[in-house]
Amino acid sequence: MIVAHPGNALLPRPTELSLVFWNGLAQKQVRIQRCADCNKWVFYPRCRCNACLSDRLVWQTVSGCGQLYSFTVNREQQTFSPPGRVSPILAVVELDEGVRMTSVLVNVDEAEVEIGMALIPFFDRIDDRLTLLKFQPARRP
Amino acid sequence: MKTGLRGNAAIVGIAEYPHQRHYTGPPMFMLEQWADLTFAALVDAGLQARDINGLVCYEISESDSFVPATIVEYLGHPVNFAERLDLGGASAVGMVWRAAAAIELGICDVVICALPFLPVPAWETSNVKDSQLLFRSTSTQWGSPQAEFEIPYGNVGQNQGYALIAQRYAASYGYDAAAMARIVVHQRRSGALNPNAVFHDQPVSVDDVLASKLVADPLRKLEIVMPVSGGAAVVVASKEIAARCRHRPAWITGFGEHLTVKTPTHAVDMCLTPIGPASRQAFNMAGLRPDQIDAAQIYDCYTITVLLTLEDAGFCAKGDGMRFVREHDLSFAGDFPMNTHGGQLAMGQADAAGGMTQVVEAARQIMGRAGARQLARCDSVFVSGTGGVMSEQSALLLQGS
C-alpha cells in the first residue's frame, strides 16, 4: 500500500519493525540495527540478521555520515517527491558502518557531485510523523 | 564428478513474432498467443500437438494464478512438467535450462517455452497510467523494501538502477562513451538485416548515439531498449525426439543462474554482476572456455549490461570492457559476433520476451537459418539473460553437433 501525498509523493508506510528507524529520523537521529551475534550492521531493518539469520538485532544510533557510492541524475521520469522538495540527484550512500541506502542529495550543485564525496544526513521533515533521510555534502574543514 | 546437464536435450523448433513499436495486427489474449506460438514452434520443429508433455511459462494477462494449468487446459494437452518463472528478462534462459533438466530427468521429452507479448484486447479504455507501469518492477506493497526505502526517493523502474551501476563503473574503471556507443552501432548494423527487428534497415552512427537524449546519466536514449510488442517460443526436446526433427538441434550443454539482490544499492559490489558465477557454471558444465564460442547473444537491456557481461562472463578481464569493445567488431560480420540479430537494442524489448530473442537467435544461428546475417561457422553459442536491475542473471551454452 502506498500513501498518497499532495504533489504525488509516494511516501513510506512504516512497519511495526521499521518504526524505530522512522521515529529516529523524526528526532534527527539515524538508527540502524546491528547483530549481537556476528556484529554485522544491518540495513534496511529486518527481523533477522542478513549475514547469520540471528534474531538478536540491536538498534543503535549512528552518525549518519558516509560517502557517495554512486549517483545518477534523472533527466526524464517524474519524481515522486513533494513539490519544492524535488531533487533529481538519486544517490546510493554508504554509511561509515558499511551499510548502503538509496537516497537523494540536497544542498549541492550537480557539478560538485563526485563518487566518494563525504556526506552528512539531511533530515527532511515531511510532517509530524514522517521525516525522510536525505544527504548533503559534509562541510569541508 | 561432473555435474549438471549431459547435453541430451536440444532446442528443435523456434517461433517469433516480428517486433513492432506500434502493433498493426489484431489484439490477442495471451492464451491465444500461447496457442499460436506453440503451434508455430511445433510446426517449425516437425512435431505435433500430441507430442507436448511439458511447458514453462511466465505471467499471462488473463490470470494471476494457476497459470500453467490454465495454459495446459487451453492447449488441450496434459503435461508431466509445468513451471512458471518470475525472473524478468532472465526468464527465457531460465525456461530453457529448466526444460532441459526436466527432459534429462526423464519426466518429459517435448517442452514448450513461450513468452507472448502482443497487445491484448482491452475490456474498456485502459486506465493504466505510465506511472503505474513503472511500478511493475518496483513493488508498492506494504512491507516491500522497495515501497519503503526506494520509491520515496524516486528509485523507480530500471533506467536509474542501471545508470547507478554505470556511474559506479565509471568511477572505478573509467568510462568511454564512444566505446559504449559502438555496442549500439554494431548491433544496429546486424539488426538492420533482421526483418523481425523494430529497427530493421536503420543503422546508426556513434555520433547518433552520443547525440541522443540523456535519460539518466550516463545512459542515453539509444543505449536503452525501446518497448515493443512481440513474443516468441521454443520447443525443447530429448535426443530421441530431436533425431526426427527438421533442423540441426541446438544442444543445451551448460547453464548457470545466480541471484543476489533486487535493488543494486545492496549489491556487495555493483560492478560484479551475477552473470559471473552463472557463466562460470555454464562454461564448466559444457567443458568450454569463453574463447571457444562462435557467437555471444548477450542480454542487452542497456549498453552497460552488455559491457559488464563481457567482463564478468570472462570474454575479457574486469575493467577491460571498454578496450574490448573498441578493439573488436561486434557485428555479425565481425571478429566477435555478438547479438547477431541486433539484440534488443535493435529488435526492441517485448517485455520478458525480449530475453527470448537472444535464445531464438542462438538456435537460429546453430540451425544455419539466420539468412543474410548467418555466421559461416556456428557450433557453440553463449546466451545470457538478465532480470530486474542485474537482480538475477542466467547463462546458457548451446552447441550444434
**Residue B201 touches chain A, beta carbons under 8 Å:** no
**Residue B147 touches chain A, beta carbons under 8 Å:** yes
CA distance A49 to chain B (A): 14
Question: Are A92 and B265 a contacting pair at CB < 8 A?
Answer: yes
For chain B, percent of residues with pLDDT exceeding 90:
94
Crossing angle for the helix pair B30-45 and B67-75, to the nearest 10 degrees: 60
The kind and range of the H/E element at B105 are helix B91-105
Identify the pLDDT of residue A78: 54
Q: What is the ipTM of this complex?
A: 0.93
Identify the pLDDT of residue B140: 86
Strands B380-387 and B295-297 come out as: parallel
Average pLDDT over every residue of B10-16: 98
CA nearest to B40, candidates B197, B198, B196, B235: B235
Alpha-helical segments (H) within B223-369: 239-242, 275-286, 303-312, 321-327, 343-347, 354-367
Interface of A with B in 38-97 (CB under 8 A): 44, 69-81, 88, 90, 92
B interface mutation test: which of A74, A81, A87 has the most B CBs within 10 A? A74
Question: Are B216 and A9 a contacting pair at CB < 8 A?
Answer: no
Grid coordinates given for B215? 535519460
- HSE-up (13 A, CA, CB side) for residue B224: 20
B interface mutation test: which of A25, A86, A90, A106 has the most B CBs within 10 A? A90
Strands B81-84 and B219-220 come out as: unpaired
Q: Are A27 and A17 in contact (CB under 8 A)?
A: no
Question: Are B153 and A74 a contacting pair at CB < 8 A?
Answer: no
Number of inter-chain CB pairs under 8 A, A vs B: 109
Q: Tell me the per-residue pLDDT of B113-129, one tens digit each, with 9 for 90 and over.
A: 999 999 999 875 554 55
pTM metric for this prediction: 0.95
How far is the C-alpha of B273 from the C-alpha of B391, rounded, in Å?
A: 9
Q: What share of chain B is helix, strand, coil (3-state, %, to 5)?
A: 40, 20, 40
Identify the pLDDT of residue B35: 98
Identify the pLDDT of residue B133: 59
Q: Is residue A81's pLDDT more than 50? A: no
Identify the pLDDT of residue A9: 59
Q: Is residue A7's pLDDT more than 80? A: no
Residues 6+ apart with CB under 8 A from B53: B77, B78, B79, B80, B81, B108, B109, B110, B111
**Residue B163 touches chain A, beta carbons under 8 Å:** yes
CA distance B123 to chain A (A): 25
Residue type, A50: N
Q: Which of A114-123, B75-84, B146-155 has the lowest mean pLDDT?
A: B146-155
Q: Tell me the per-residue pLDDT of B193-235, one tens digit each, with 9 for 90 and over.
A: 999 999 999 999 999 999 999 999 999 999 999 999 999 999 9
